[in-house]
Amino acid sequence: MDVAVADEKAAAAYVELYWLDLLSFRAVRGSGPVYRGLVLQDADALLLVRLDGSLARESVDLKILDRSALHVGQIVVSASDVGGQIGVVTGVTTVLDLADLNDSGKATKVIRGVSPSRVRRVRALSLGDYVVSGAWLGRVVEVSLDADVMFDDGAVCRVSDVESTDLRPENPEAFYRPQMNTVFYPRRRVVTGDSAAIFEEARWLKGHWKPDREVGTVVNVEMAGVYVYWIASAQHGTNEQLVLELAPPVYQSPDSLTFFCSAPDCSWGLGDRVFLTDASVSLPDNHHPDDQQQPTTMAVYRTRTTVDVLWQDGTRQHGARSTSLAPSSYMNEHGFFPGQYVVDNACTDDIIDGTTGAGDDNMVATHSGSTARRVGVVRSPNSKDQTLDVSWLHPDNWEVQCDDTVSVYDLGTDPDHSVFYGDVVVRLLSDITGGTPLAHDKSAPDDLSWVGHVVDLHDGHVQVKWGDCSTSTVLPHEISIANKEDYTQLLAKMGDWAEEGAVDATEELCAANTENQQDNPADARTVEGGMIEEGSDGSMNELDGPATTTQNVEVTEHVVTIASHEDPNVGSTLTEGGFALVTRSNASDGEDDSAEDLVVIKATYATRDDDPSKFPRFDIVPSPPADHIYLDTKEQGSKYGKKWVTMVQKEWKILENSLPDTIYVQAFEDRMDLLRTVMVGARGTPYHNGLFFFDMQLPPSYPAEPPQVYYHSFGLRLNPNLYECGRVCLSLLNTFGGEGTEVWSPRMSSLLQIVVSLQALVLNDQPYYNEAGYEQLVDTSEGHRNALPYSEKAFLLTLRTALHLLRQPPKGFEKFVKDHFCRCGRYVLETCQAYLHGCVATDHGSTELLCSTGFRIALANLVPRLMTMFKEIGAEDCNPSFLTTGAEDCDQS
């Protein structure tokens, strides 16, 4: 279904700037000439760079002219409704205006409406480009350039690998994008302070070296060599090990490479230096300056970009101006689109624990007799309800077995078939040629029929446009996705090849967690946790994320207190099972129904002992358990020295005297370097009444360095700071950047501070904003769109974590886990009941719970398993009839 182009007037009022936005601006408000500038980023600052590369110091009357950085596969929102539904870019068309610049950087001639296919960059290959050589596909990670420099007397020399020398432009302050551009291009004046070091050893094409030759003009630029990171082959696909063993040399001649496509971030922008040609973009011929001069160097003067968008509701928009859209950098993990492949995650817990039954509806049997998670294709997402219409596929023939409406929280992206718009993909040539091997003739053009990019996803099939310009429809298992990493990461990997045997510490932790890990973390997502100074009013600051919180934490040397923030409209009695709830109160008609407040459910059974099993908050036992993640560390506490032992004993004393009621720590006599911690999720958060286990190890240098901390995740990512592989990302642990009191201080920091920070700052009431950089979304429409789904998912994963803990309790805490859920099981189920019925009774009337339909579907799938597990351990009042009580009253209120 097609829709009209978005309202441009509404978009014009949208002023937030993004990387590579093209702007018009004035240096003085209301008067003076109008300039163009390109938004670049330097560290945390946005820079506005003019056509000539100079930095705009003053800029007013800003107007967005173009967003050329939009690319196929990018997630976008409407610029006039950033909190609305998301879309994915499916097509991009860019037209260029080119300018001939004089020596002062002013445009003297402008050619308008030029297709990018009629130009090529001065450096024909950009970093990250996909290139083909015979039967191999690779990524460009570095380019060596030779430059011919002409002096005023007509002498010419060739400087090899010019970008690695001290030769520099006469105007070195100019900004440019090195991924796509070079500072050396024809007509550029260059200078050096050491003529002998550069020019004496150069190859002289005309004349010879003289000491006084220090300033010249670039007349020709050639690619001398290209460093390629090979990622796939026509015979072996993307098999990383085979590619590594059999790939061609890293260093390649440009003549041996055929350009396939650019990386998504290689977009056109103001000031890019290009040559105007009559043919499509291709690798350049090498020209001797005496034989034929290169074409005139021109600069991109303006870009005009239109895009096609597939919106999440299935509508398609064609030819939308790029300024009517905004990139969405804060997409949640359940933003599915029609045509995407998904897997059923509802049975994940059983897969991990090995308890999947033969009759499990969420599992399918393959032709080999093995079982696997169901794979389906998205038909129609409902982002507001957090539900999807899915067609489940037969594992052997990929035909539709049945259609279903499911919760997004019960689904995940299919890791084996996660193709998406714009992905570069490959297929084996044997599938095309019927088994005939590829015989590559170096004199013939490369065969590109096995390399393509995804142009559409439709009805369980993938439409691919291949490098030979043909288009075909394939099944996802018939293709492989090529490496999509940034070229800087690939370049770093190439360096790692020389360091055989090097193992990253994080990977070791991931390997140790194979029993309960599903996926590796995609990236480092963190909160800047740290010490909250004495006298804090409890509001969160730059150390700990969002301004809204349900906890006040005060840390002194020996005392930690945690106070609950209660909603006065709900009453003073709080349930022991109430997770964070976004609600709408019906108590007063005069109140704003749209106001969202964090409250907790008032329960019939609202008081209980916070220490259910009388388990000591701090305890010392003889030896660590066999499942402690750091048990096999080589250096043990007994070897650390008397001073170290004294320091640890002091920490023990602080923990013994000051631990909050809901944090428990166990230390070990014969391994003083190890600890095990469990904490109960705080009230008013999605983690309430959940249990969260951490293993700690104190290094020999402690307290000069912080301890290592590992989270028992069971493969679940329920918080941005807690990874599936067990990594805990917190500035206080020096696992994320920070400054001042945010980071570990040998003099001021303590183990008590760490455990309190984990409970109060990490496991907080709005964990979505823990994501690095997401604090800026607090109280924004984009933040509201994603924060509630994240909290709903955190709630569900807390329940799934409880199931794992009951099946596989960490050693030494078996009785604690059982006793905790024996006493709390009813309160947890009471919270689930309130969510399933959509409202809860309070002292001032009923309160509507603002949770999604998809959340309730996923919760309904979990509750029977929780009830069964709670009944097995003898939990109080966990019978089926309990979950139906009170529903009629809520519905009538």
Enzyme catalytic residues? 729
Q: What distance in Å separates the CA atoms of residue 710 and residue 701, rounded to the nearest whole number?
A: 18
Q: 453-489: b or e for each residue (b if 16 or more CB lie within 10 Å)?
A: bbbbbeebbbebebbeeeeeebebebbbbbbeeebee
Q: What distance in Å separates the CA atoms of residue 62 and residue 39, rounded to the nearest whole number?
A: 11
Nearest to 120 by CA among 285, 274, 266: 274
- Residue 532 has what DSSP assignment? P
Whether the upstream peptide bond of residue 703 has omega within 30° of 0, thus cis, is yes
Residue 412 amino acid letter: G
Answer whether 591's CB lies under 8 Å from 585's CB. Answer: yes
- Residue 278 has what DSSP assignment? S
- Kindly report the number of other CB atoms within 10 A of residue 548's CB atom: 15
Nearest to 791 by CA among 718, 702, 890, 722: 718
Q: What distance in Å separates the CA atoms of residue 846 and residue 887, rounded to the nearest whole number?
A: 12
Answer whether 570's CB lies under 8 Å from 843's CB. Answer: yes
Q: Which residue has the tokens 């099946």?
A: 807
Answer whether 748's CB lies under 8 Å from 757's CB. Answer: no
Nearest to 613 by CA among 355, 802, 397, 820: 820
Q: How is residue 713 written in tokens?
A: 């995740």
* Alpha-carbon distances of 54 from 95, 106, 123, 218, rounded to whole Å: 24, 12, 21, 20
Nearest to 269 by CA among 111, 116, 141: 116
211 CB burial (10 A radius; 0-12, 13-18, 19+):
exposed
3-state secondary structure of 41: strand
Q: How is residue 390 written in tokens?
A: 């899915």
Q: What are phi and psi of 157, to 5 degrees?
A: -130, 155
Q: How is residue 53 written in tokens?
A: 């590369």
For Cα atoms 505, 506, 508, give the angle at the middle one, nearest 5 degrees.
65
Answer whether 680's CB lies under 8 Å from 820's CB. Answer: yes
Q: What are phi and psi of 478, to 5 degrees?
A: -90, -5
